[in-house]
Amino acid sequence: DVDEQETRGIYAKSFPKFGPMESRWWELERRRFVEWTNYKPKIREDIFEQVKEALLEHIDFYSDDHADVVACWVMGTYIFPVFTAYPYLFLSGPRGSGKTKLLDVVRYLAFNAVPTSNTSVSSLFRIIQSNQATLLIDEAEKLGGYGDDSDMRLILNAGYKTGYPVMRSNKDSLEPEMFDVYSPKIIASINQVNPTTASRGININMIKTASKKKGNRRVTDDSSSWVSTRSALYRYLLCY
């Protein structure tokens, strides 16, 4: 409510630009949150378990600790602006170890998740700044020395910490523009990333699942309770 925001002196830093993306928080769930006068949010531990359960429905981790780290990281994508730095999450492992599948799961759970495979690198600067998007970067080995991916290099070098905006030239006006690229980023690759980038995050060694049933389970819109889990995460963002 705009009037309520002005009364409280709350002003949006930027307005999300989702384009064709689906609404991350269904309108019905938003109304329930606003209208329930006696609403009591879930405790954080319950939300953590709900996120972890969604992860384990599709992914086998090397250890339970790894599942805990990923679940905490996903929760943190909703509140990362309160931190001065937020670590990247690196997924490394052989082909078939579930790296891309975990990215698919995180796409449904994390705050404003955007797969870079469907987006031009040049547009990511505006997407991150407008949406505070969680970036999902697959097959990062193709970035190997970065080569022509200088824009991605700028994003990764500066995007783990506040206070380091990236300057780029506007292609039309040629005027310099500053972009805030601080946001959560999860990066999957067969090999370890370069040492400079690796120092900015946490590595998760992925393994092939021993469960044929879980391995064949596809990540789809209907494959888990994404809506209820995201709703719990949005309420966590607003209540804690």
Per-residue pLDDT tens over the stretch 29-67: 777 777 776 666 678 889 999 999 999 999 999 999 999
- The answer on pLDDT for 147 being more than 50 is no
In this prediction, what percent of the chain has a pLDDT beyond 90? 40
Whole-prediction pTM value?
0.84
67 against 1, higher pLDDT: 67
Q: pLDDT averaged over the chain?
A: 83
Instruction: Tell how far CA 108 is from the center of its chain.
Output: 9
Q: Which of 54-58, 87-91, 140-144 has the weakest average pLDDT?
A: 140-144
Give 29-79 as a DSSP string.
HHHHHHH-TT--PPPHHHHHHHHHHHHHTT--BSSHHHHHHHHHHHHHTTT
